[in-house]
Amino acid sequence: MLDYIWGLLMLVSFISSAFTGRMEELTQAIFSGGAAAVTLCISLLGTICLWSGLMRVADQAGLIRLVSRVLQPFIRLVFRGLDPDSPAAGAICMNISANVLGLGNAATPFGLQAMRHLSEENQNAPVASDHMITFVVLNTASVQILPTTIGMLRSKYGAANPMDIMPAIWITSILTLIAGLSMNAALCKLRRRRL
């Protein structure tokens, strides 16, 4: 679906540029936007590699068990019926840990791993389980205590104090988490009644 939206936006831009005589400006915007995207990707690459590597080392060092124990009460509350010692719970804990540190890109491999384990527990059914839906909501809310990636980007683009947004991110993250999990719980109950 997103492919169609982007394609439509590009087509509209091209047509409007052709009719308004601004093809040269469109061409310049394409090249400058492409160069900016490559520069941004390269600048993020170092941060992503560093934190992904640290998360991998933490995983192999047994930190997953420690983090899982700390997060077990939260996992039991949010993912009722999920074994807190399961591989899915471990991957969920590491995903939450990476998101809390503001490392959304480092959280992605753990999120994919968690979803794979949750799908296996759901017997690879074509319909998502309540745990899978809850995990998507939790991952999307992305509670951040330390917004590392955003701080790095703000620093790169010249912010005087890159981390001055932390209180706003804390409030937004917590409100998003509460709203998302509340709506998810209500809709899961409604779905169970219909089944």
pLDDT in tens, 128-175: 888 998 999 888 887 777 777 778 788 878 888 888 888 888 898 889
DSSP annotation string for 7-21: HHHHHHHHHHHHHHT
Domain residue spans in the chain? Answer: 47-194
Position 123 scores a pLDDT of 85
Position 195 scores a pLDDT of 67
For the chain, the residue count is 195
Percentage of the chain beyond pLDDT 70 is 95
Question: In the structure encoding, which two tokens stand for residue 55, read together?
Answer: 């998360």
Helix (H, G, I), strand (E, B) or coil at 58: helix
Task: Give the model confidence (pLDDT) of 78-125 as tens digits.
Answer: 888 888 778 888 888 888 877 777 666 677 888 888 999 999 888 878
Position 179 scores a pLDDT of 92
Q: Is the pLDDT of residue 12 over 80?
A: yes
Q: What is the mean pLDDT of the chain?
A: 83
- pLDDT-derived band at 64, boundaries 50, 70, 90: low
- No. of helices (H) and no. of strands (E), the chain: 8, 0
**What is the C-alpha to C-alpha distance for residues 69 and 54, in angstroms, rounded to an integer?**
20
pTM of whole model > 0.85? no
